[in-house]
Amino acid sequence: MAVKSIKVLVKLDFPNGATFRLWDGSGPYLDANGELWQGVRLNDGLDQIESAMNGEAVTLLLSVSGVNEEGAGLAFEDLEAGNVIGGTVQLSIQPLDEWDQPEGDVEVRFTGSIDNMPMDDAAMEEGIVSTITLEVTNRFDLRTLTSGGVLSDVDQKARSAILNPGAPNDRFAERIAGLADKTIVWPRFS
């Protein structure tokens, strides 16, 4: 397998069942499954995308511009109707050969949930250019803690149930309550 380049693919699945497929490039892209991906330009967040692809990011700010009027209109309607927050964002790469043809399967690198989606329209000579910024969190963001805060099992399970309702309880902080009055003695080496 001689991979020469990659396509960055972004799939958005909204709670109402709508799906948008975007890729970092111009023009449409037809994948091996017959799905059509719309070309956009990824603006801000390329370093965050790289971190997400390497499994290092717990949150992702993804800004895309060049979304057509129909796509931006549908995204705005869904945002206004409350159908965006909680949607799924999947960031994948498609390896390509020397002729820019797909080589192998698509590799999913990051999956997260939409926390917010601010939009901005700018009037240009070519027409209106829409920019959509996705604020995405993944399952590891459930375990974040503000500076100076105390991690509690009850709070962690409650937050997990709100942000990831279909998943089993987050048991990450389950044993912290039992450690409240414990003294840990470090081994002494002579």
Q: Where are the domains of the chain?
A: 5-139, 145-190
- Per residue of the chain (190 residues), what is the pLDDT tens digit? 577 888 888 898 888 888 889 888 888 988 888 899 988 776 655 566 666 556 555 677 777 777 777 777 877 887 788 788 888 888 888 888 888 888 888 888 878 888 888 888 877 777 777 888 888 887 655 555 555 555 566 767 776 776 666 777 777 777 766 666 677 777 777 6
Q: What is the C-alpha R_g of the chain?
A: 21
Distance of CA 146 to the CA centre of its chain: 21
- Residues near 84 by beta carbon (within 8 Å), at least 6 away in sequence: 14, 15, 75, 78, 114, 117
Quick one: tokens of 83? 């159908």
